[in-house]
Amino acid sequence: MTQQATQEGLSTPTSGYDPSTSIIEIDHVTKSFGSFTAVDDANFSIAQGEFFSMLGPSGCGKTTTLRMIAGFEQPTSGAIRLDGTDVSRVPPNKRDVNTVFQQYALFPHMNVFDNVAFGPRSRKASKDEIAKRVPELLEIVRLADFANRRPSQLSGGQQQRVALARALVNLPKALLLDEPLGALDLKLRHAMQFELKRIQREVGITFVYVTHDQEEALTMSDRIAVMSDGRVEQIGTPTEIYDNPASVFVAGFIGQANLWPGTVTGRSGETADIVALGGASLKGRCQSEALRSGTDAVLMVRPERITISTNDPGPTIQRVRGTVVDLTFQGPIVRLVLHTSDDTPIIANIDPDHDLPMLRPGDNVWASWSTNAASVLPASPDHPLTATDVVDEG
Amino acid sequence: MSVTDSPAVRRVGRIALIAWAVFGFIFLFTPIVVTVIYSFNEPTGKYNYIWNKFSLAAWKDPFKYPELTNSLVYSLKVAFVVTLIATVLGTLMGMAMVKYKFRAKGVLGAVIVLPLTMPEVVMGFSLLTLFVTLNWSRGFVTIIIAQVMFSVSYVATTVRARIRGFDWRLEEASADLGAGPVRTFTKITLPLIAPGVLAAAMLTFALSLDDFIITYLNSGLDNTFPIEIWNLKRSRVPTQINVFSTSLLVISVLMALLVIWQGRRRQRALDGAASASTGIGTHGLAAG
């Protein structure tokens, strides 16, 4: 039941782009600063009209990748192609992409109109064209009445929209956004997420969006590239990444996840058998070719995919027995912590209306989930798990 | 409560502090005030040293001594050229030292303050030796070279201090929007660092007009204003010297006030912005 709701909630059909096209190609790009590798063999392409996000913690290489697309950095090796042309060595002022900077970088000595007109003027657009296009863009970002204000006389959200208009006025092949909402408070951030999506649909330009905020990436993107330590861990739609993470890092970084260490005991196609949670034999979806019988692995199940029952739900479903340790009411959900026989914690988010007798710590219950909800992931030396480790990114 | 904390002692302390500060200001400003007052003197002899009686004679005929007038014009010319060259060179140096990381940066930082700390006589003689060795006749060009040499240090250090907080991403934003390096510099960087550059230029102009030792040693036959006064001293000290000095003083004070007033206005605009950004916040959301 929660399963269906979750999937529908996440797969917001958005830009209606054509995935077969490609406007930006990142072709085996590596960027090193001295002995430090900021981006390690990034290799993907971004489609025309797509809302593409690069998501990861600070220092994962997402901003460096964006700066290479913009032209502020040059790849150490590999190539960046814009609409089929290699632009790896082309300076930023000769590239047909524009950037919305993290702190906006508006020109403080110019008013809003002149800020927006700076791009067309630099590209020697005619006076008539500027007089027509700048107000058009100010209209799109809903700042038509603010043309004569200085940036310092605007609020954070308004400055943000000036930055957007300034970067869009040249009608670039792609718009690059570097944590554009990072400086705004939570409420304004939600409003601006909405605005950004609206504007992207309106202008139909490819957006390449850098963020460390998983919720932001999930709600706005057509596709997400999750990055860690300079490597692209996984690329996919928000639903794919959430439901079917490729690694322990991705599972832990996006949403909440139960991550249980175990050992693979068998493999048939995309399904793997794993022994985990104190000797229970379980099944899960498995994409990694490296996982064979005998290898260490991690079993991942999202807390909202777990169903709790007092009676044995039967062998057709994945199930383990556990003891209730803690119950927390969290508004829309009840957060339940169970311990298995070997004290491995299981976190389950259950519906408060769920038809359960009053549970108390010490009660023995069954935790169950469908095979589809479980993923068997390669054990990661970078993200070792202990028996009590449950990643909670809230 | 100890003795030093008692209100009476603290009051005495405060009065003593104010008195000391007043004394300091008197010490600093007396020579300037005397110069201004003596521009209204009618001296009995050739030397404007002793107060005789109030007169506007010198103010009515400031250009009575052509050699003095010529020297002032010459000084202004020198100051203008030196300011131009030193400001351009020094600004670029100051910017380079803030913006870029390069190998000799530490060395350059040390070398650049050398002319500020070295005794003027030493610098003047070193330059003189150089020009004599090169067999260059002293004159306008050697004065310019000598003054640019030490002024560049002042400009570079002033500009460097003033643009420490400059947001270099503005240059990236400019390039991103399609502006080449020249357009970025003239439209973005220069207008934003202009106050610092202007302050440095004013300082250079004043230093150039004022300099005696280095200029004296490298000047040749043409005299700048300070050198002319020095030379005149043997035969006469006319009141016109005070008139020119007072005029320069008034002009420079007015310019300084203008710069301060501009700075205040700028600051007020920024402060207003800070309060506006919190105030308009909700309004911005509503508009979105």
* Rounded-to-integer distance, Cα A160 and Cα A179, Å: 11
Q: Are residues A235 and A308 in the same domain?
A: no
Check A93 against B269: CB less than 8 A apart. Answer: no
Look at residue A10 and tell me if it is in a domain. no
Rounded Cα–Cα distance for residues B267 and B273 (Å): 10
**Domain annotation covers residue A6:** no
Is B59 domain-assigned? no
Asked if the model's pLDDT at residue B53 lies above 90, the reply is no
> Cβ contact (<8 Å) for A150 and B174?
no
Which residues, 6 or more positions from A131, have their beta carbon under 8 angstroms from its beta carbon? none
What pLDDT digit, counting tens, does each position of A291-340 carry?
A: 888 888 899 999 989 988 888 888 878 888 888 888 888 778 888 898 98
Question: Residue A50's closest CA among A84, A19, A73?
Answer: A19
Asked if A73 is an interface residue toward chain B (Cβ–Cβ < 8 A), one would say no
Same domain, A236 and A268: no
Residues of chain A with Cβ-Cβ distance to B270 below 8 Å are 152
Same domain, yes or no: A254 and A238: no
Structural domain contains residue B231: yes
Q: What is the number of structural domains in chain A?
A: 2
A339 within some domain: yes
Give contacts of A123 with chain B, Cβ < 8 Å: 178
- Give per-residue pLDDT as tens, A203-225: 889 999 999 998 899 999 999 99
Which pLDDT value is given to residue B215? 92
What is the extent of the structural domain holding A274?
248-378
Average pLDDT over residues A54-66: 92
Nearest C-alpha in B relative to A141: B288
Q: Is the same domain home to B75 and B215? A: yes
User: A150 with A298, same domain?
Assistant: no
pLDDT at residue B274 greater than cutoff 60: no
Give the total number of structural domains in chain B. 2
Cβ distance A155 to B281 less than 8 Å, yes or no, reads yes
Residue B3 has a pLDDT of 60
Q: Rounded to an integer, what distance in angstroms lies between the CA atom of residue A118 and that of residue A125?
A: 10
Amino acid A343: pLDDT: 85
CATH number at residue A347: 2.40.50.100
Question: Can you give the CATH number for the domain in which A59 is found?
Answer: 3.40.50.300
Q: Does A33 touch chain B (CB under 8 A)?
A: no
* pTM more than 0.90: no
- Residue B271 carries which side chain, given as an amino acid letter? D
Q: Please indicate, yes or no, whether residues A193 and A277 belong to a single structural domain of this protein.
A: no
Q: Where are the beta strands (DSSP E) in A316-390?
A: 318-329, 334-339, 345-350, 364-369, 374-378
Q: Are residues A302 and A252 in the same domain?
A: yes
Q: Are residues A130 and A58 in the same domain?
A: yes
**What are the CA-CA distances from residue A219 to residues A9, A237, A239, A256 (Å)?**
9, 11, 10, 16
Over range A260-269, report the average pLDDT.
86
- My answer on whether B98 and B14 are in the same domain is no
- Name the helix (H) or strand (E) containing A297: strand A296-301
For residue A102, the chain B residue with the least C-alpha distance is: B169
Could you tell me if B98 and B214 lie in one domain? yes
Q: How many DSSP H helices and E strands does chain A contain?
A: 9, 20
* Structure-block tokens of residue B220: 């040749």
pLDDT for the residue B105: 81
Cβ distance B176 to A92 less than 8 Å, yes or no, reads yes
Q: Is residue A181 part of a domain?
A: yes
Residues B25 and B78 in one domain: no
- Averaged pLDDT of chain A: 85
Residues A221 and A256 in one domain: no
Give yes or no: residues A273 and A323 share one domain: yes
CATH number at residue B82: 1.10.3720.10
**pLDDT score, position A336:** 87
Q: A225, A243, A261 — which closes off a domain?
A: A243
Q: Do residues B152 and B28 share a domain?
A: no
Please name which of A7, A18, A47 lies closest in space to residue A235, comparing C-alpha atoms.
A47
The domain boundary residue, chosen from A191, A213, A243 = A243
Please check whether residues B33 and B74 belong to one and the same domain.
no
How much is the pLDDT for B84? 96
Long-range CB pairs of A10-16 (<8 Å, 24+ gap) are A10/A218, A10/A238, A10/A239, A10/A242, A10/A243, A11/A237, A11/A238, A11/A239, A12/A219, A12/A238, A14/A51, A14/A197, A14/A201, A14/A220, A14/A221, A14/A222, A15/A49, A15/A50, A15/A51, A15/A200, A15/A201, A15/A204, A15/A222, A16/A49
Residues 6+ apart with CB under 8 A from B116: B150, B153, B154, B157
Check pLDDT > 60 for residue B261: yes
Q: What is the ipTM of this complex?
A: 0.79
On chain A, the residues whose CB falls within 8 A of the CB of B176 are 70-72, 92-93, 97-99, 167
Tell me the pLDDT tens digit for each residue of A34-50.
Answer: 899 999 999 999 999 99
Residue A368 and residue A229 share a domain: no
Mutate to test the interface with B, among A98, A102, A107 (most CBs of B within 10 A): A107
Minimum Cα–Cα distance from A105: chain B residue: B170
Both A53 and A82 in a single domain? yes
B84 and B182 in a single domain? The answer is yes
**Which domain range does residue B108 map to?**
66-237
- Give the per-residue pLDDT at A384: 54
Both A233 and A260 in one domain: the answer is no
Question: Residues B192, B138: one domain?
Answer: yes
Q: Are residues B200 and B106 in the same domain?
A: yes
Please name the residue ranges forming H helices in chain B: 7-38, 57-60, 66-99, 105-117, 120-134, 140-162, 169-176, 181-184, 190-210, 213-217, 225-232, 240-279, 281-287
- Does B193 lie in the same domain as B81? yes
CA distance A171 to chain B (A): 11
Give pLDDT tens digits for B6-34.
888 889 999 999 999 999 999 999 999 99
**Is residue A318 in a domain?**
yes
Q: What percent of chain A has pLDDT over 90?
A: 41
